[in-house]
Structure formats: C-alpha cells, structure tokens
Amino acid sequence: MHNAIEIRDGQAVIGGVGVRKLASSCGTPLYIYDQNALEERMAEFVSSFKSDTLQTSVLYASKAFSCLAVYKLCQKHGLALDVVSAGELYTAYKAGFDLKNVYFHGNNKSRKELEMALKLKVGTIIVDNLMEAELLAFLVQKPEYQSCRVNTLLRINPGIEAHTHQYIQTAYVDSKFGISILKMDEIAQIVQTLSQAGISFDGFHAHIGSQIFEQEAFLAEITKVCEFAKTFEEQFGFVTRTLDFGGGFGVWYTDADKPVAIEQICKAVISQAEAEKERLNLAFDSICIEPGRSIVAEAGYQLYEIGFLKETQNRKYIFIDGGMTDNIRPALYQADYEFDVATNMDAAKTETVTIAGKCCESGDLLGSEITIQPYQSGDLLLVHSTGAYGYSMASNYNKLPFAGVVFVKDGKIYWAIKPQSLNELIERELLEVEEVQ
C-alpha cells in the first residue's frame, strides 16, 4: 500500500483519526485529507524546484481541488496559484491570497472574467488564442484599466504526445488548448497585438497532459519549447523572459502506477531548462511548473458506508452511499483506485466484488472486479488517492447533496467544506416562478 495510513484495532487511521470516528462525527460519504501529507507535498515541491541561475515558481493547479483552506495552505508554503475561472479567482480573493501570484488560465475566458482579473490586479494572464488577445487589448484601453500593469504568457502547443488517456492529453495536434508552434505567424500576431496595447508579453506556457509517468516526456517538452522560443526570437525579435512548463506529474492510484519522485522530476526539469538556456543562448530567467494532482491526490481519501449487497449470476455487488456524484472519474475515463474495507483492515483481501454507487445509472461503478477484505453491510469502505478531481468534479445528479470535506491532523478533525444540506440543495429554486424583468 502506497499511502501511509495506520491500522489500529482492525480499522484504518488517517492523520491520527480512526475511520469509525470520522464516520460517526462527520457522516458518509466523506472526503478526507491528511493535512500533514498535503503540506509535506507542497513544501517538497517548493524546496525541490530551485535553481542557482533561474527564478523558479511552483503554481498550484487549482482545478484539482480548490477551496479556501487549500489556498491558505498554498500561501503559507509559498506556492503561486493557477486558476481557470471566475469562481476559482474569487475563492483565492476571499482566501486573502496575494493575487500578484495568481496565473489566470482558460481557453474561453469571458469578458466578465477578464475584467475581474484586471480589477483584482491578477499577476499573469495566460492568453490562449488570438480572439482573447484582441479582447484583452481592447479592455486595457478602457479608462478604468489603463493604470493596470498586465503581464501575459501565451499558451502554445508543442505537439508532444504523452501516454495518457485521450481526455487528459492537452498537447496533441488537435487539442482545444493553445496554439500549435507550427502556426508561427499567428503566434507573432498575438504577441504583437498584446505588445501594441501596452501589455507585457513575458513568454510561453505549455502543458502536455496529466498523469504522465515518463520523465522523458517532460524533458522533450522543455527542449521543444526552448527551441521554439529561440526560433521565434530570431524571426520576430520578441525576447522570452518566462517559460511555464505546466504540470501533469503522475501519482499513485494502484500498484500499476510508478510515479517519479517529486524531488527527481523537479531536479530534472531544472537541469534540462538550464542546459537548454545555455545551449541556445536564450534570455529567459524565470521558469514555472504547475503541479495539482501530484500535490493533493495521494493526501486525499473517500469514505463510504457499505449498504445493500447483491449477487447476480456473474458478480458480487457492494452498494455504497455515494458514487459518480462525488467521484466521476471511473465513469468518465475508467480511472482505477485502491480500495479497503476500512473496518476490517487486518484481514487478507480475498473477496472479488464490483463496487456500485447509488445513482440511477448502470455506469455508476467505482470499481469492477476489485479484490478487498471480507465485508458486510454497515462496514466502511476507504478509497485511496481521491484528493484530486473528486470534490472539484462533483455534482448534484439525482439531487444528491455534496459530501463534506475534512482535514485530519494529529488526531483532530477540521471541517474544510461543510456537507450540503437538503435545504441548501434547493435554496436557489423557486416554488413560484418569477418573471425576468
């Protein structure tokens, strides 16, 4: 087992708190984060991503899991933020995060979102396409924004094919993200549009996908981005000052996964960037990475109560009190997880089961043909490495309320996000419809 949990009296213990205590105090389904593990990963990224010759920044990719409490921890440990929506930006603002250290991503930012970024003086906007550059150039001419200093990076598509699920590849030739490095004239037009409007163009951003285990893919990305920056400078005279190489570092979900250690991948990225800068005589003096999943995934768990049991001709089903509403990844792209009967941890894994959620969908399965310890109705089921894209992709399908999120640390439980009540579930609905004026 990869994740560091204790076993006491046959039950799983996370952050010094037993699962029975968690279930009785907070209910199920429940998202659980080991706060010490979370902070250790943040600190390790920041301490490992250091260079003697380059400025370095670690951006937390908010989409993996964003809330006020996580943003406070990011600020505490010296991380910057990657946000992709007005909602994530507003959450950072309400958390008291230093917005100079926010990078605003997105392939289709609305006018309202860009105006919000300008009003809040967001540090850097990652421009995705020509239309966005033109809109931003128009907005900064408005009187209320003329005093704003706007820094930008341009997202480019280096065409590196990472070995991962097609839904989480972001740099193949037909990706919706960024502009192909083959479209040199269009890239030049974007940079010129920004520069003529007085917007600071600092450099380029690239991201080749998620859940990548091959270190070589990142090194190839760095080489390709640097060679592009050199060619672009020679052809158009724009000097690159910052390169953002994105994230996508793989994590452990099951024993089939072999992630590269944080320190190793950080040192490799640093070394490759330094070598390419020297080889190509490039001027950039700042580099960024954007870990998200690799910070929060393994620090997070989900806890369910086992309900009814059913046997069909070919399967044994365990029904749980959650499902695709609180973890859609298995239904969306066949994600695999490690499971334990958290109240029978001392037993050997001898039972092969299919774990099904309570949604009215045949595809609401968290795992098929999974081997776990002996179980019975009323036992607690623990799912490992669910800290990324569980809560952030949750829904109210079938009118199921959002589960709560707790941090556990040194034997204590802290609410980070309270569970949604039935009243809160319908609080925006109107019994008598109102005419829109």
Active site residues: 360
Distance CA(195)–CA(340), nearest Å, equals 55
Residue 18, SS3 per DSSP? strand
The distance of Cα 374 from the centroid of its chain, to the nearest Å, equals 34
**Cis, bond preceding 291 (omega within 30 deg of 0):** no
Q: Determine the residue type at 324.
A: M
Contact call for residues 31 and 419 (beta carbons, < 8 A): no
| Class of residue 175 by CB neighbours under 10 A (exposed 0-12, middle 13-18, buried 19+) | middle
DSSP 67-128: -HHHHHHHHHTT-EEEE-SHHHHHHHHHTT--GGGEEE--SS--HHHHHHHHHTT-SEEEE-
End-to-end CA distance of the chain: 58
- Three-class SS state of 215: helix
Cα 58 from Cα 55, distance rounded (Å): 11
In this structure, are residues 343 and 10 in contact, taking their beta carbons and an 8 Å threshold?
yes
- Nearest by Cα to 402 from 22, 83, 71, 27: 27
Classify burial at 187, counting beta carbons within 10 Å of its beta carbon; exposed 0-12, middle 13-18, buried 19 or more. Answer: buried
Q: Which amino acid is at 334?
A: Q
CA atoms within 13 A on the CB side of 13: 12
Q: Closest by alpha carbon to 338, among 256, 249, 394, 403?
A: 256
Task: Quickly list DSSP for 60-79.
Answer: EEGGG---HHHHHHHHHTT-
